[in-house]
Amino acid sequence: RLLQEAVQYAPKDTEALRLLVRLCQADGDADAADRAAAMLLALRPDDVEGLCGRGAAAAARGDLVGAEASLRRAIAVAPKDPRPLVELHRMLLDAGRDQEALAVRTQLAREFQHTPEAALDHGARLCAEGRWRDATEAFTAAAAATPDDAGTAARVAMAAVMAETPALAVQAGDRLRPHRRAEQPALTLSLAIAHLQSGDPAAALRELDQATPAATERPAVQRLRGELLLRLGRAEAAAPVFAAAAAASSGRDAAIAHAGHGRALLQQHSPHAAARAFEQALQHDPERQGDRALLAAALVLAGDLDGARRQCALLARDPAAAALLAELHRIAPALRPAAPPEERR
C-alpha cells in the first residue's frame, strides 16, 4: 500500500513502478500487476519488466495470444535477460504446448546456465502429473544451476523419494554444505525418509539429529523421529517424541502421533496408558482400524476383556478389517465369539 501511494505521488517513477509490478505478481494480484505494468509501459514502451508483467497478467486471465505477444516482444528487446524466456516457458507449459516449452527450456539451459526457474516449473508440472522420476530429473537440472540452494535440493530429494529412488535423494543432500543442508526442514524430512527407504533407520535418525531445531521441531519431523526410535528399539525415547507431536497436531496427523505413542507405550509394557493413547488416536480418526485392533490388544493386556470385545465388535462391521480381527482372535482366543449352541454339542 505504501508503494502504491508513493506511485500516486510520483507516477513517473519507473523504478517504483517496476517494484510495484513485482510485488503485485508475488502477491498473486494479476489485475494490479497489469495496471502497474501498463503505467510503466506508457513511460517506457520497451521496458522488460512492464512487458513481462503484462504478459504474465494476460496469461493469468487466459489471453494467451496477448501474453505471447508481450513476452516475445520482451525477448526481442532484451535478448540477454532470462526473465521473458522464463515467463514464456511458464505460459507454454500451462497451455500444454510441451514441445515449444522444451525448446524454450533448452534455450535457457544453453544461454543462461544459472537460471533454474524453467526447470523448477517443469519439475512442478511433472509432480502434479505424478511423473516422479521425470520430476527428479528436472529438479536435478535446476540444482545444477544453483548447487548451493537447499530449497532446490529439497525438491530433488522429495521427488526422488516419491519415485522410490532414495540414492538420488541422498546425493542431492550430499552436494550441499552441511549448514545449508541442516536448515531446510523439507530436505531433512526427505533425506531421512530416503535413508529409511534404503533400510537404514540409524542413518535416517542421524539426518534428523544434524538438523537445526527449527527443522526438527515440526510435528511431521517429530513423528518420523518417533518412528525411527521405535524401529531402533528405543521405545522409551520414542514415547515423549510422539506425545509432543500429538500435542502440536490435529486431525489425521494427531491420530498418527497418538497411535505411535500407544505403540511405544506397549513396548514399554504400559497397556493402560497405551489404551488411552489409541483411544485418542481413534477420536481424531475413527477409520484407522489398525489402531482399533491395537486398542483391543492393549485392553486385553490391561485385563479389560469386555472393552476389547467391544472393539472387536466394531472391527467385525468392516469387511476390510477381517485380517486384523483374525489376528486378534489368534493371539487372544478369549476374544473369539462364542460358538452357537448347536456347534457346542
pLDDT score of 28: 77
Q: Residue 114: pLDDT above 60?
A: yes
pLDDT score of 2: 43
Per-residue confidence band for 35, with pLDDT thresholds at 50, 70 and 90: confident
> What is the reported pTM?
0.70
What are the grid coordinates assigned to 134, written together? 521425470
What are the grid coordinates assigned to 107, written together? 534455450
H helix intervals, 11-63: 14-26, 30-43, 48-60
Cα 242 from Cα 230, distance rounded (Å): 10
Q: What are phi and psi of 101, to 5 degrees?
A: -65, -40
Q: Average pLDDT of the chain?
A: 88
Q: Residue 182: pLDDT above 80?
A: no
Which residue has better confidence, 41 or 164?
A: 164
What are the grid coordinates assigned to 184, written together? 531446510
Q: Which amino acid is at 73?
A: R
Q: Are 226 and 238 in contact (CB under 8 A)?
A: yes
Per-residue confidence band for 6, with pLDDT thresholds at 50, 70 and 90: very low
Tens digit of each residue's pLDDT (9 = 90 or more) over 42-100: 888 888 888 888 888 888 888 889 889 999 999 998 888 998 999 899 899 888 899 99
pLDDT score of 42: 86
- CB burial string 43-76: b at 16+ within 10 A, e below: eeeebbbbbbbbbbbbbbeeebeebbebbebbbe
Tens digit of each residue's pLDDT (9 = 90 or more) over 261-305: 999 999 999 999 999 999 999 999 999 999 999 999 999 999 999
Mean pLDDT in residue range 191-217: 88
Helix H or strand E segment including 211: none
Q: How is 274-325 classified by DSSP, letter by letter?
A: HHHHHHHHHHH-TT-HHHHHHHHHHHHHTT-HHHHHHHHHHHHT-GGGHHHH
Tens digit of each residue's pLDDT (9 = 90 or more) over 302-340: 999 999 999 999 999 999 999 999 999 999 998 888 666
Determine what percent of the chain is predicted with pLDDT higher than 70: 94
